[in-house]
Amino acid sequence: MTTAVSTFSELSSLPDVLSGSSLASSSSNLDFLAELPTNALSDLLSTPSALTTQSHTLTSSLTALTHTSYPTFLSLHHTSTALLSSLSSFDTSLNCLINIALPALDDAARVFREKTGPEVIEGRQKARVVLEQHDKLRDLLDVPVLIDTCVRNGLYAEALSLAAHASSALSSLVAQTRKSLNDDEHATQGLPLQLADSLQAEIASSLHSMQLILLNTLHEPARKLPAFWKAVQFLRRMKAIQEDELALVFISARIGCLRDALDGIERDAGIPSDAGSLEFKFPAGSTVEEREREIDKQADDVARFLKKYIDIWREGAYDLVTQYTTIFLDRSHAGARIAPPADEDAEASSYIIRQTLPSTILELLLPTLRSYLERAYPHLAPLTTQLAYCSSALARVGMDFRALLSPLISQSVIGGFARDVRLGVEHEWSGVLAKHVTSRPKPSAPSIWLVATPNSVPAFKTLVLLPSNAPHSPPQVLTAFPPLAKMLNAYIRALNRLRMLAPVDTFSGIMGGAEKCLANAGHGLLGYAKEWQGGDAKEIQILQAAGAAYTRVLVPWLQRAIVEGVFSVSQKDRQSVADGAGDPNAGEEGERELSFIVREWESWLGSTGI
């Protein structure tokens, strides 16, 4: 009984023992224990011995295996030991990573995020915006190059169209960029806007080059109205210059070209323009004909220069006025594109330009005419015709300056005639007086130089100018007096040159110059006659005849030759013509001096019995 109880207690505790052992953890043991209650008693009783036998068998097998495979067990031991050591080291490293490295990495990441996060985000936003606008930007990057190419090839309309398109596209790009960046103050200063500013700067530079090219076109002398019209229209479209400033630029450029052309002609001609150049120097002993040939030779050069000068000035001035009127004043052509100036300043500026332009252009012509016209005296007639045609051509465009030419031409005629008289008559007469009167210790006798031969003195009754004597036919009686005949010939040559151009308003000046020269000659001859102390009746007779020839033949005939022969005016109308032509006081001095000398001669002749 005790044994049974003991066996029962062992049996009852066996599952507990087995379940508490490490063998219970095996699924096969659990299955064995699950099947054990279902076995028969005999099987249960034989189980211990079977298990013992299996245990001895397994032990023997293990022992044999140990003896035969001990190197494997040693290797397994070393491997297990190394594995445990590695696992321990890994555990230590993992603990260091978790407790030290990861917190430090987290702190560094937080600091990096706080410091560089906004810049990275901004960069990403910029990159995103650039990617979004990539196609537009790629097209716009080529625009400056295209504009520059168009400008270089003269395709100004295409260049302006490209610039307008680029400006519109860039404005749209900037607006979209600001909107996409939600008006972020820092982000809007990013790459797309910087690129837009750079493109705008390049486009502005190309347009500035185009503006310089167009302005340079206005300074090219060979250009005509179509080129200037095109250039001004493009400058207007660019809106870089105000309308009144553009007009001033155009006028200044064209006047500069005209001035350069005129200066080139004057420089190539090589003719000095100073007043001292009017004084001619001739070799000693030269005749009147030789002096006149030298003057005419120099006058030919001056006339050729003036002809070219006037032609170029006329063409340039006419083109300038026509171009300015067509481009800036003719609203029928420009009104569709350019509205008239609305503000008072612009209107006043346009008025000032219109008022000052003619005088500015004339300043390129009139001073040159004042300097050179008198020196071309023998050729004044064709030059006057050319100037009349020039003034008529410009009168058609509202620039009539004929009233300014008349005084210049008259002054040149008077000055040229006075020069001929001075270099011909006065030089010849002063040479005669110097030879026979002033430069000798004793004056020569009248019979030596005043008459051809002492026995050929004309009768006093023949020394009178007849009314039938034609103004173009010199009196033959003066041939008896060689000095007076030479003086008369010099006057005739001067009058013949004057007949080619003798304006009515030069009447007083011509008469005054001729009469003053006659008065000087008469004064010298009268002084010689009064101072002659020869006492010979024949010599006195020669002096009386010479005086009568001077006062009663030479002076009246020259006055008639000028009044009737040159100006085709009757003697009775002389005063009225003098009063109505030019300055009526211009010839008063010469007339007064000649009247005084004639009276002195008549008084002296009367005192000697003539």
Sign of the torsion formed by the C-alpha atoms of 211, 360, 378 and 523: negative
Query: Residues 397-444: pLDDT tens digits?
Result: 888 888 899 889 989 998 888 888 888 888 888 888 888 888 777 888
Mean pLDDT of 325-349: 61
Residue 337 has pLDDT above 60, yes or no: no
pLDDT bracket for residue 338 (50, 70, 90): very low
Which class for 76: exposed (0-12), middle (13-18), buried (19 or more C-beta within 10 A)?
exposed
C-alpha distances out from residue 102 to 94, 96, 114, Å: 10, 9, 18
Residue 94 has pLDDT above 70, yes or no: yes
How confident is the model at residue 254, as a pLDDT?
93
Mean pLDDT of 249-267: 92
Element spanning 66, H or E: helix 41-68
Neighbours of 193 (CB within 10 A): 19
Residue 579 has pLDDT above 60, yes or no: yes
Q: Please provide residue 35's backbone torsions phi and psi, each rounded to the nearest 5 degrees.
A: -85, -20
Query: Residues 136-177: pLDDT tens digits?
Result: 677 778 888 898 999 899 899 998 988 888 888 777 777 766
How confident is the model at residue 168, as a pLDDT?
82
Q: How many residues does the chain have?
A: 610
How confident is the model at residue 194, as a pLDDT?
75
d(CA 251, CA 273): 27
Residues whose CB falls within 8 Å of the CB of residue 598, separated by 6 or more in sequence, listed in order: 522, 551, 555
Residue 19 has pLDDT above 60, yes or no: no
Instruction: Please give the residue that has the higher pLDDT: either 124 or 159.
Output: 159
With a pLDDT cut of 90, the percent of the chain lying above it is: 25
pTM for the predicted model, two decimal places: 0.70
Instruction: Please give the residue that has the higher pLDDT: either 295 or 370.
Output: 370
Residue 477 has pLDDT above 60, yes or no: yes
Residue 342 has pLDDT above 70, yes or no: no
Residue 57 has pLDDT above 80, yes or no: yes
Residue 277 has pLDDT above 70, yes or no: no
Instruction: Please give the residue that has the higher pLDDT: either 247 or 3.
Output: 247
How confident is the model at residue 437, as a pLDDT?
83
CA angle 389, 393, 395 (to 5 degrees): 115
With a pLDDT cut of 70, the percent of the chain lying above it is: 82
pLDDT bracket for residue 240 (50, 70, 90): confident
d(CA 508, CA 5): 185
d(CA 139, CA 31): 82
Neighbours of 13 (CB within 10 A): 11
Mean pLDDT of 596-601: 92
How confident is the model at residue 282, as a pLDDT?
57
Residue 335 has pLDDT above 60, yes or no: no
pLDDT bracket for residue 129 (50, 70, 90): low
How confident is the model at residue 456, as a pLDDT?
79
d(CA 105, CA 541): 147
Strands (E), 107-146: none
Considering only 265-279, 479-493, 544-558, which range has the smallest mean pLDDT?
265-279
pLDDT bracket for residue 200 (50, 70, 90): confident
Residues whose CB falls within 8 Å of the CB of residue 209, separated by 6 or more in sequence, listed in order: 148, 151
What is the pLDDT of the chain when averaged over all its residues?
81
Considering only 146-155, 334-343, 362-371, 508-517, which range has the smallest mean pLDDT?
334-343
pLDDT bracket for residue 533 (50, 70, 90): low
Tokens of 454: 């002492």
How confident is the model at residue 334, as a pLDDT?
46
How confident is the model at residue 519, as a pLDDT?
92
Mean pLDDT of 492-518: 87
d(CA 112, CA 475): 127
Query: Residues 211-228: pLDDT tens digits?
Result: 999 999 999 988 899 999
Residue 2 has pLDDT above 80, yes or no: no
